[in-house]
Amino acid sequence: MWIVVLFLWAGMGNAATGNTLSLVDVEKAVQARNPAVLSAQARASSARGMALASAGWPAPGLGVTREDFPRPGFALNEAERKSLVVSQEIPFPGKTFLSWHASSAEAEKMEAAARMVLQEQLFMARQMYWDLVVATESEKYFVRASEVMDGLVVLSEKRSRFGQSGRMEQLMTPMARMEKAGLEISRLDLAQEKLEARSALNELMGEDPGNELTVSSSVMARAPEVPGLEDSTWLDSGINDSPAVAFALKDLKTMQARRAQSRAGWLPDIMLEYSAVDMKDGGKTGMAMAKLSLPFIWFWKPLGENRAASGEVQASTAELDKTRLEVRRLALIEIARLGLARRQEEIFNNDVLPQADRALDLAVTGYQSGSTGPADALTAVRSWLSMNLEKTMITAQIGRSTAVLARLRGK
């Protein structure tokens, strides 16, 4: 039974030590330090500032003139007329509001884009987290299987030395060693996968890609559940809250605001000007002027701008419809995939894994007592490893499907 003891000890000795990184820790780090998220949020704040600036009128003008001074020369103090000129361009009533409305819609669109960037970065971080968990958990199973192979090799060599092995059993030592070499190759591949997942996860959290990360394998007992994600009713009542749909809605609002602003291009602007004039002979006069711009004279400019803006509204409306359909399709597929994976996980936990552990126990003890042949013992080890790896992938799939649905819903 010493091989069984060794087998169980191997499972206990590979538990994660030290501080472990949970999925909640990852999500908080992404929200606080991810460079792409911080950049998108800063751009949204900048757009909100531009909306405030767009509500202002053009800057007033202030000028001083000197007229009719003798030439040649530049004797300004001998000018016959001295004038102080104040001017102000006034947009047609409503134009400033339309400009502010369009800029505010653009700011809302940038805020929606920042939310979408956050959800995308969270999605990528969740995927990398599960990649790291899968590699960590799978490595544990490869180590345990390799140690069982070591025990079988020791027992086979012992039998050979005492002449207790038959023709088939003589193959056990090279076959077990070959199996162990294959396990080692797979474990090296897992080490590379862990490195890549760890580096990507660190980058998404705004950390040095070379930092060490430890994840707890206890999450593999059962993937976490997020309440409400598997309920498809939100596709009818709350689909507009999806980050992708919300962004498309804000884009449509922006295009509509720009169309309204382009229509105001037909309206004239007003220029007011006042001059206070001092004459050299002591006389004082004033001059006031008001003028209108006539944009409709060159009608093709505002006409073309209005047509272009209307086309953008149509395109944005079609994009919104496309986004809604895409979100519905992806959500329905992922909800079905998540339900399937949960049912598979339950079967593995209740039936497959207990039987795999029992078969391995019987195969190892049977080979030790001589009642089980080498082929059956090796098959039991392979089957045990295969079932545990498959269950690991199913649990990770639950986590990944949850990440997809969280991104679609903006959770």
**Domain assignment of residue 350, yes or no:** yes
Q: Of all residues in the chain, what percent carry a pLDDT higher than 90?
A: 14
pLDDT at residue 263 greater than cutoff 90: no
Q: How many domains does the chain have?
A: 1
In this structure, what DSSP letter does residue 60 have? P
pLDDT band at 221 (very low <50, low <70, confident <90, very high): low
**Domain assignment of residue 25, yes or no:** yes
CA distance 381 to 3: 13
CA distance 265 to 270: 13
Structural domain boundaries enclosing 285 = 11-409
CA distance 157 to 374: 12
**Domain assignment of residue 6, yes or no:** no
* CATH at 333: 1.20.1600.10
pLDDT at residue 176 greater than cutoff 80: no
CA distance 121 to 98: 35
Instruction: Say how many CA atoms lie within 13 Å of 355 toward its Cβ.
Output: 8
pLDDT band at 91 (very low <50, low <70, confident <90, very high): confident
pLDDT at residue 252 greater than cutoff 80: yes
Q: Are 380 and 97 in contact (CB under 8 A)?
A: no
Q: Report pLDDT for 227.
A: 66
**Domain assignment of residue 310, yes or no:** yes
pLDDT at residue 2 greater than cutoff 50: no
**Domain assignment of residue 126, yes or no:** yes
**Domain assignment of residue 4, yes or no:** no
**Domain assignment of residue 1, yes or no:** no
* Report field, pTM of the whole predicted structure over 0.85: no
Q: Hey, what are 117's tokens? A: 């960037």
pLDDT tens-digit series, residues 336-372: 999 899 899 889 989 999 999 898 888 888 877 777 7
pLDDT at residue 384 greater than cutoff 60: yes
**Domain assignment of residue 99, yes or no:** yes
pLDDT tens-digit series, residues 38-76: 999 998 888 888 877 777 778 888 988 888 878 777 777
Q: Report pLDDT for 122.
A: 93
| Helix 172-204 vs helix 95-161: crossing angle, to nearest 10 | 160
